A and B are shown apart, each in its own frame.
Chain A
């Protein structure tokens, strides 16, 4: 893929998804911002080498998840997946409504999931198919289905 405008457009288009993936791996706002920046740089490097071996969205998600795994390894000393007391970003003003409480619960519940479950359910909520999730995570579709089913059961319990 050519450098410049194309990459800029793709990064702009997928920035909200990248922000959600970062939010699924880091609860601290300031650190999450840094993580998002790191992901964006990695995506830029990656898109410059993109040869159409998968859909662009899948390719970008793969890079983002890899950066997040790197982040979790690096921040292992401070990483507590069950630390739901950590500050979670306030919903923007326009989204404050009667359903806000439920949405915050969904995010908090997702953060309580183990990383393997969180990755699968997060990608399902992004609209990826089982086959695409299997491609991103490098696991079989059967494993995706199994993790998804278990993750959903846990979420339903907590919500």
Chain B
């Protein structure tokens, strides 16, 4: 190695920013557990809602329309949970790719992220519509509509958040894609 590079190397090593290594490691460990937990939560939450739909199908449905509704809704939450888990795992694996390959995939991830929120918005929207339909059927059958109304209100908040998030992500997508283009052209002047 030539002397100039050796001199720069020494300067570079000496200018290492101060870092609390113990705190950093503890944070990484905590955060890694949290992210794994969240990934599993996606799956278990989906499983729980799907199970609820199946229980409702077997024990609560009072007409064939309700049975069709619950049967149609049951696979959606668990399917969504598994899809989200797979997406997260793939993201972790892609972090170890080379930068050039990862930058190309980053573009795909940005589209995926947008699709994630789009699918979420549709999934939550379908659930809300299903609940609304059930509430309507119950109301027409003169049943107790109160618990359904509460569910509808709670799910409306979730739906509003999901749709809002999707619109924000979609609006930012062109800017981020442009930034990626910028980085690639910056790297190869």
Contacts and interface: CB of A to CB of B under 8 A. Distances in A.
Interface residues of B, number: 47
B99 A106 contact: no
Contact of B28 (A37, A77, A135): A37
B176 interface: yes
A67 B25 CA distance: 17
Contact of A62 (B35, B99, B182, B186): B99
A45 B35 contact: yes
Contacts of A114: 186-187, 189
Contacts of B99: 62, 65-66, 69, 119, 136-138
A86 interface: no
B140 interface: no
B28 A11 contact: yes
B86 interface: no
Given A40-B24, A115-B183, A20 B11 contact: no
B21 A12 contact: yes
Interface in A45-82: 45-46, 48-50, 59, 62-63, 65-67, 69-70, 72-74, 76-77, 81
A45 B95 CA distance: 9
A36 B106 contact: no
Contacts of B96: 46, 49-50, 59, 62-63, 66
A15 to B, nearest CB: 5
Interface of B: 4-5, 8-9, 11-19, 21-22, 24-25, 27-29, 31-32, 35, 92-103, 106, 175-176, 178-180, 182-183, 186-189
Given A20-B12, A44-B28, A125-B8, 16 more contacts: A8-B25, A8-B29, A20-B13, A22-B17, A37-B24, A45-B35, A49-B93, A91-B14, A92-B18, A99-B11, A103-B14, A125-B9, A127-B9, A136-B98, A138-B97, A138-B102
